[in-house]
Amino acid sequence: MSVDLARLKSHYPFTPLRFDRGGVGMSYVDEGHADAPPILFVHGNPTWSFYWRRMIRNLSPTHRCVAPDHVGCGLSDKPQEYDYTLRRRIDDLEALVTSLGLKDIVLAVHDWGGAIGMGYAVRHPENIRALMIFNTAAFRSPKIPLRIAACRLPVVGEWMVRGGNAFVGAAVHLKFATESRTLFADPVVKEGYLAPYDTWDNRVAVQRFVEDIPMNAGHPSWTTLVDIEQRLKAFEQTPSLVIWGRKDWCFDTWHYREWLARLKNVQAHLLPDAGHWVVDDAPETVDELTAGFLAALPESA
């Protein structure tokens, strides 16, 4: 693994743990007291648990913070042959949650982690205490951005993403160049995002994530996503916090409004100067809003 945890320690001071998925190692962090209220952080593409580093550090004194790296991402194994589909992602997350015995979960999701996390949630609605939603979706989208569509092109797309690092590199450089100029000055943060995806083989899951976005009924993950979408009504009255970066070119305000149409017990915040990676783009605001939201939650049953 090319990630130098010693170099990242100032930002990611956690001890990664391993969960076995049939011979495939899934990395995760588990910070805070085991008896504290759990928060489950589910990342998207092309990030890893490093994305949640600040929230984990801030919230672990009062909560149990669990943040997995999906198979193929971050510090997890990166098998070249794996069922990199939405259903398998949900299965992996479900197996980890069950193994850790997490109950009354506050579920935090970002990017494609929305579909994965809510995929777990619709299977176990009784185990979800609250939702924290950051620039994501768990329902069908009417369109796909051109730059993502290009990465899905047969042969060419794979060479772009895995050979030319067109997805990870472009995402990080675009993010730091246009949204988080302060973080751009810190090479350790930039390295933290780039290091797990430094070779063709290490970018396998990045490409498979892109390919797994279902845009029509013939796609293998279409029925899984439709099932999640149709069962979101179970969370209509679940306490929910939506924090959204308005400058997001991928999960735009259409997705933000879609969440608000589905969630009735919701605190919603549209941040005008933040983009897709909203947790990094507006850290102080996110800290304040999440702390207030969690403090006001009713006691667990």
Structure confidence by residue, pLDDT tens digits, 101-141 = 999 999 999 999 999 999 999 999 999 999 999 999 999 99
Q: Per-residue pLDDT averaged across 203-231, rounded?
A: 96
CA distances in angstroms from 19 to 133, 164, 197, listed in the order given = 25, 31, 21
Name the residue among 34, 251, 263 with its Cα closest to residue 131.
263
Provide the token pair at 121. 């949630």
E strands, 69-151, are 105-111, 128-136
Contact 241, 133 (CB under 8 A): yes
Q: Per-residue pLDDT averaged across 3-31, rounded?
A: 96
Q: What angle do CA 17, 84, 142 make, to 5 degrees?
A: 120
Name the residue among 215, 205, 83, 67 with its Cα closest to residue 137.
215
Which pLDDT belongs to residue 162? 87
Alpha carbon distance 252, 67 (integer Å): 25
Q: Per-residue pLDDT averaged across 147-161, rounded?
A: 78
Which pLDDT belongs to residue 299? 81
Q: Per-residue pLDDT averaged across 139-148, rounded?
A: 87
Give the pLDDT band (50/70/90) at residue 205. very high
Instruction: Check whether 47 has a pLDDT greater than 60.
Output: yes
Taking the alpha carbons at both ends of the chain, their separation in whole angstroms is: 42
Which pLDDT belongs to residue 88? 98
CATH number of the domain at 5-142+220-295, out of 3.40.50.720, 2.40.30.20, 3.40.50.620, 3.40.50.1820?
3.40.50.1820
Contact 47, 112 (CB under 8 A): no
Q: Per-residue pLDDT averaged across 58-76, rounded?
A: 98
pLDDT digits (tens, 9 = 90+) for 162-190: 887 767 766 665 554 444 444 446 788 88
Instruction: Give every CB contact of residue 119 below 8 A, 6+ residues apart in sequence.
Output: 86, 87, 89, 90, 93, 138, 224, 228
User: Which element (helix H / strand E) includes 244?
Assistant: strand 240-245
Which pLDDT belongs to residue 181? 47
Contact 40, 104 (CB under 8 A): no
The better pLDDT of the pair 189, 154 is held by: 189
Alpha carbon distance 236, 156 (integer Å): 42
Tell me if residue 46 falls in helix, strand or coil: coil
Name the residue among 87, 131, 137 with its Cα closest to residue 112.
137
Which pLDDT belongs to residue 178? 47
Contact 54, 283 (CB under 8 A): yes
Which pLDDT belongs to residue 2? 76
Contact 89, 54 (CB under 8 A): no
